[in-house]
Amino acid sequence: MGYKDDVKIVRTGAWSGGPGCHGGCGVELHIKDGKLIKVEGDESHPFMQGRLCPRALALTQYAYHPNRLQRPLKRVGARGEGKWAEISWEEALDEVEYNMNKIRKEYGPEAMVFGQGTGRDAGGSLIFLAYAYGSPNWTLFGLSGISCFTPRLAGMHMVCGDIVFEDAAQFSPLRYDDPDFVVPELMIVWARGMRGSQCADHYFTSHWVIDLMKRGTKIICIDPRMSWTATRSEKWLRPRPGTDGALALGFLHVIINEGLYDKEFVEKWCHGFDELKKRVQEYPPERVEEITWVPKEDIVQVARMYAKAKPASIRFGQPLDCNANSIGTMQALNALWAITGNLDVPGGNVIARPPYGVTIYPYSTHEVVQLYGQEFVDNMNKRRIGADKFPLVKNFRSWALSDSVIEQMETGNPYPIKGLYLYTNNFLACTAQDPKRHYEAVRKLDFNVVADIFMTPTAQAIADIVLPGTTFAEKDSVFTTGIPLNAIRKHIQVGECRSHWDVAFELAKRFNPSSVPWNNLNELFTERIGNSGLTYDELSKKVWELAPKDHPSGTCGYRRHEKGLLRPDGKPGFRTPTGKVELYSTSLESYGLDPLPSHMEPVESPVSTPEIYKEYPLILITGRRMPTMFHSEHRQVPWLRQFENEPIVELHPDTAAELGLNDGQWVWIEGTMGRCKRKLKITPVVHPKTAMAPHGWWLPETEGAAPSFYSTFEINVNNLIPMGKNGTAGYGGAPIKTMLCKIYPLSEGDTIPTENTKMNQLDFTDSYDIVNAQEA
């Protein structure tokens, strides 16, 4: 902590609540008279080294926004009517306790579902509350197949026994000056943008790609979109959406058949190479070209470039989660970095574990068991929704499967669902595919709680109690899902807002006192980070801590598989049943699933549904990340909203001309499931056979009460996307990149959602400052 003039400058970690991201950044908060007046990056922090995304930099507008929730609300009209009364925290928690205890007494704790949004500082406190209450049903509510990182995590664990990320010396405080680090000769950036993912993302950030490029790393880009990365790459491949698994298998075909693999590593550290070699014969470049639209010559060239580069790495993104066989896709990527000898080596793809083995928000079964014990997890599996049908849901990470959850809400089988507790989940506008189906199911439940920072379409539509949450500057927490162990400390107070850790801690004591042996959160965090040898207060003074190389937890270092740092028994090898990289996964085999990588066609595609393709000739890609908005957040913040003010759909100029459409024209996007309105943006960066529509859109400046819910049903691209298309593993398969559609103009009489709205008339200038406006 320091001072400049009369401004206090404090260092802390950042995780969600403001930037909305996955965290890991170091920030400096500038505070004057108890108010946050500026946010800057902490140059001493090893993860981001002073760099911050626009969302973190705009925290002053976010935190002090006049429309922010600042007191608990109780519904006083019908659900969706928009009638609320402010109540005290004691009243709110009493209401929650009474109604949830009533459900537990009448139907059992499993009748309550606990849903979060994507991987922010939500999972740790929410699973803590759910398990204290006794419910096994913790889930990423609404997202089909939990298709955000979990399928990639599962695929990596099934093959390598751990999370694997590309190396940018992120384990070392010396970073690129570490003598053990080697700059990768080549990096494949696969289904991963730069503009929208410049923030910290678990164990890597896009800034590091640029750092490595400046140091000589060459880039191969695999992306249907002409991205920033594509324009600066040595080679750009543009596959048909949803065919990444086939492309990876095509690379493996070339590498194996031409003998370009690392024979020593394969012989000593890989299991199932012969079986993999046989499988890839089904994917020669000629066939892969037919599947993927990528010319066979390019497939061969890129396979050779990657195999011959020493070292080389692969950076991969969320679109890989969206095929129903996403596990198989990730098996193929794991096989690529394994058989080329690029696993657990400097500049390759490295094992990434929580710092000191500490976990707050569990990313694997190992971590869930570490927190709650094997017996407890086994008992939860007996009642967890989806665990009886899908083997990976039962055996990996302990989610309830979102597709099965909505089905069970509708049918009541095998037991009824009576309540929903949501934290940072705006399913109506963002998370859920087929949002109208979710709305109809959830509004019939007995009791719903929503904890969030702003009034959202979801809270407005279904909540009985709304609890006001906090930004990272207003809470105590710990970040453990990346390389540094970060302390997050509360430095400001806005209204009566409370962090969800505070709320969960209080409610857990009420529901199950024996589950909360700590006197306060400080004691809980100190116990959770115990392996680091630090108390929470000690970590807070340091702000961040990196585990030393070759620490027994296996957190940091290279070639840990040779040193016995990855397996529980301390023997050399990997944390898999065979102790080797399982190119043929014995775990998947034991679950009755395909032990080898393979390709599966999307649920709708020119190949799988040719008749639908005739009527709907464009492939709809949704979910493009934006640097100024995170999922459905930040639509209220002028500094951020100015950069993408309206919900758009992007078409290639040739496609738009063929359809007779003009730039800036409002259109319908229609598919087999439904339709939505968007404003057309014509741009050459999209593939002529695709349409790209950012997700998460709602208009907080429009009517919030039913039936509008801030215009969400009118503009929500998820209207076109179904639930229940996940594969046999359970995880993966939300077809948010591959549904078929057609686009046509609005008809006479169709309204334009953003016409004459307040946000459309705002003066988007740097002079707009909510803090100063309030003080004035």
pLDDT value, residue 495: 97
CA distance 752 to 760: 12
Residue 267 in tokens: 């012989």
Fold of 150-355+562-590: Dimethylsulfoxide Reductase; domain 2 (3.40.228)
Per-residue pLDDT reduced to its tens digit, 564-600: 999 999 999 999 999 999 999 999 999 999 999 999 9
- For residues 154 and 733, the answer to whether their CB atoms sit within 8 Å is no
- For residues 592 and 391, the answer to whether their CB atoms sit within 8 Å is yes
CA distance 318 to 2: 40
Which CATH number applies to 73-147+359-472+499-514? Answer: 3.40.50.740
- For residues 319 and 248, the answer to whether their CB atoms sit within 8 Å is no
CA distance 466 to 73: 5
The predicted model scores a pTM of 0.96
Residue 453 in tokens: 């920072």
Per-residue pLDDT reduced to its tens digit, 155-205: 999 999 999 999 999 888 899 999 999 999 999 999 998 765 455 566 788
Residue 516 in tokens: 């909360």
Quick one: which of 288, 368, 367, 294 has its CA closest to 332? 288
Quick one: which of 626, 753, 744, 751 has its CA closest to 696? 626
CA distance 195 to 714: 27
Domain boundary assignment for the chain: 73-147+359-472+499-514, 150-355+562-590, 610-745
CA distance 426 to 447: 17
Handedness of CA 159, 165, 166, 169 (dihedral sign): negative
Quick one: which of 466, 472, 438, 463 has its CA closest to 452? 466
pLDDT value, residue 21: 78
DSSP state of 697: -
CA distance 125 to 194: 30
Residue 403 in tokens: 């597709």
CATH number for 610-745 (one of 3.40.50.1360, 3.40.720.10, 2.40.40.20, 2.40.50.180): it is: 2.40.40.20
| Local mean pLDDT, 10-residue blocks, the chain (776 residues) | 84 88 87 96 88 93 97 97 98 98 98 89 94 97 95 96 94 91 97 67 82 97 96 98 98 98 98 98 98 98 98 95 95 98 97 90 87 92 95 93 98 98 97 98 98 97 98 94 88 97 98 97 96 96 90 85 95 98 98 97 97 98 90 95 95 98 98 97 98 97 96 97 94 96 96 75 46 41
345: alpha, beta or left, given left = phi > 0 and alpha = psi -120 to 50? beta
- For residues 723 and 409, the answer to whether their CB atoms sit within 8 Å is no
Residue 328 in tokens: 């198989």
Q: Which residues contact 373 (CB under 8 A, 6 or more apart)?
A: none
Q: Which helix (H) or strand (E) holds 269?
A: helix 263-269
CA distance 589 to 676: 42
Distances (CA, A) of 439 to 38, 79, 84, 94, 118: 39, 11, 19, 26, 19
- Write the single-letter amino acid at 91: E
CA distance 38 to 58: 8
pLDDT value, residue 119: 65
CA distance 96 to 592: 41
The beta strand positions in 17-142, using DSSP E, are 25-32, 35-41, 73-75, 84-86, 112-116, 138-139
pLDDT value, residue 186: 98
Q: Which residues contact 514 (CB under 8 A, 6 or more apart)?
A: none
Distance of CA 46 to the CA centre of its chain: 22
pLDDT value, residue 602: 97
Q: What residues are paired with 73 via a beta bridge?
A: 86, 466
pLDDT value, residue 737: 97
CA distance 668 to 2: 54
DSSP state of 417: -
Pairing of strands 112-116, 419-423: parallel
The phi and psi torsions of 497 (rounded to 5 degrees) equal -65, 145
Cα dihedral 238→239→240→243 (10° resolution):
-160
Question: Could you tell me the strand order of the sheet in which 2-4 lies?
Answer: 2-4, 7-14, 25-32, 35-41
CA distance 361 to 755: 42
Q: What residues are paired with 187 via a beta bridge?
A: 219, 313
CA distance 96 to 466: 10
